[in-house]
Structures are given as structure tokens and as C-alpha cells.
Amino acid sequence: MAKVIVDSAEIVRVHRNGGGFSAHNKIQLRNGETKTEKYTVWTNDEVVVGQTIGFEGTLSVKMEEFTNDQGELIRYAAIHVNDTIVTQSSKDDAPF
């Protein structure tokens, strides 16, 4: 198993069941462009949208798919983080 460590990511969505959240981490590539890494993180820790946190856990990748508005089947690899430990939390970063 692989382990993932993210130093700083923004919470963009909290799951309705409270079992996790979606987070985005922006990184700069060698060519100078910025890329957004998207994670689905499974944890019972309380977080709020807009909060910036760090986390680590076990990495898994699942192939997911959906049909877009044009009727095209879109497939992508979704990054999931399991057995997550929130390593830093700053609720002061929350928008309220």
C-alpha cells in the first residue's frame, strides 16, 4: 500500500453523512503551470468548507465514470485517502 501526505489542501465539499470530505491541493509543475490535485478523504474528523488542512493516509485509486450533458461517457481516476489522520487543522481559515 502507498501512503499519501498532503501538507496543505482546501476543503471544497463535506460529505452529507459526515464521513469525509473533498479537498483540492494546488501544486506547481516544473514547467511553471499550476495543477489542482483532487482528493476524496474518508475520516470522521470535523471540517468545514474553506478550511485549509493537512492530512495523511492510505492511498487508493478508483476508476469512476459519468455521462456528461453531451451524452459522452467520461472515465477518470479518482484519488481516495483512507484511514486518514488530519495532521493540521486551522478552523481560523474557515470563511465564518
Cα 45–chain centre separation: 14
Q: What is the mean pLDDT of residues 11-28?
A: 91
DSSP codes joined into one string, 20-69: EEEEEEEEE-TTS-EEEEEEEEE------TT-EEEEEEEEEEEEEEEE-T
Q: Which one-letter amino acid corresponds to residue 20?
A: G
Residue 68 lies in domain: 2-93
Name the phi and psi angles at 92, rounded to 5: -65, -20
Q: What is the pLDDT of residues 59-71, one digit of tens each?
A: 999 999 999 999 9
CATH number for position 43: 2.40.50.140
Which residues are paired to 25 by β-bridges? Answer: 37
User: What's the pTM value of the predicted model, to 2 decimals?
Assistant: 0.78
- pLDDT value, residue 89: 66
Q: How many domains does the chain have?
A: 1
pLDDT of residue 92 exceeding 90, the answer is no
Pairing of strands 52-67, 20-28: unpaired
